[in-house]
Amino acid sequence: MAKLSDLIPTLAQVLPMPEQTVAMYARHLREAKLISSGGRGPGAAQMTATDCARLLIAIMAADQVKDAASAVEAYWPLVMEEIDTKLGLPAEKREGWADLPEAILDILMPDGNEEQSFGETVASLIEGVRLGTLTQAMAGMRDPYLRVEIERRFLTGKIAFQNDNAGLGYPQLALLAQFELPEGPEREQREQEDFSVGGDAMITFAVGYRTINALGALIRT
């Protein structure tokens, strides 16, 4: 399996981002004990799907490198507020939605569990590539598309799948999972804020299957 010295250049290449910058994010996570660490060289810690997901989320969510650890701590526990698929919608609302392989739902909600956090779900996608289950599911779809998104202003996450299994010539939405803050004072405060607070700027960072696939393939070796 891969080590941190392998993970850093892999993420730097697919995002793309300077390798030195990715290494700085990793250093802050390692100091906060949010990423596996051990010796050096052959004795260095092996990277897991969780390690990969934490470094990815840190890069996506932190406004500055020094905020890497606090960004992971803020976004990792976001709860799955809603998950929509064609079969989960009322019959009158299914038009325009694509079918979704059951294997993808199994990855996002193991044993039907909707309590996976945003971070755990991103890690599950990476693990799905490592095990081959997500790779196989994506290969079975026509024009598959995966988007993992973080919106910094509202502290939310989204995961979406699209495909053109109906042969329409364009991909349709097959799954949309939305992640929000857990119930509590911070969420109540954000919900009560006027939409104009913070100005009009929304900072969204999204990655696709290429990034998730690169991370899963890395830890499979």
pLDDT (tens digit, 9 = 90+) per residue, 77-135? 999 999 999 988 888 888 889 999 999 999 998 876 668 999 999 999 999 999 999 99
Return the pLDDT at 199: 60
What stretch of H or E contains 221?
A: none
Residue 68 within any structural domain of the chain:
yes
Helices (H), 1-77: 4-14, 19-31, 49-61, 68-75
Instruction: Give first-to-last CA distance, the chain, whole Å.
Output: 5
Residue 195 resides in a domain:
no
Which single residue is written with the structure tokens 């919900």? 191
**Does residue 35 form part of some domain?**
yes
Q: How far apart are CA 154 and CA 67, in angstroms?
A: 17
11, part of any domain: yes
Euclidean distance between CA atoms 145 and 131, whole angstroms: 19
Number of domain units in the chain? 1
Range of the domain at 36: 4-73
Q: What is the pLDDT of residue 45?
A: 86
Among candidate residues 118, 211, 127, 204, the one with its CA nearest the CA of residue 159 = 118
- What would the pLDDT profile of 17-44 be if each residue is shown by its tens digit? 999 999 999 999 999 999 998 766 666 7
Verdict on whether the full-model pTM lies above 0.85: yes
Within a domain: 51? yes
Alpha carbons within 13 A on the beta-carbon side of 82: 7
Is 170 inside any structural domain? no
Does residue 160 fall inside a structural domain? no
Query: In terms of Cα–Cα distance, which of 104, 70, 71 is closest to 88?
Result: 104
Asked, for residue 206, whether it belongs to a domain, the answer is: no
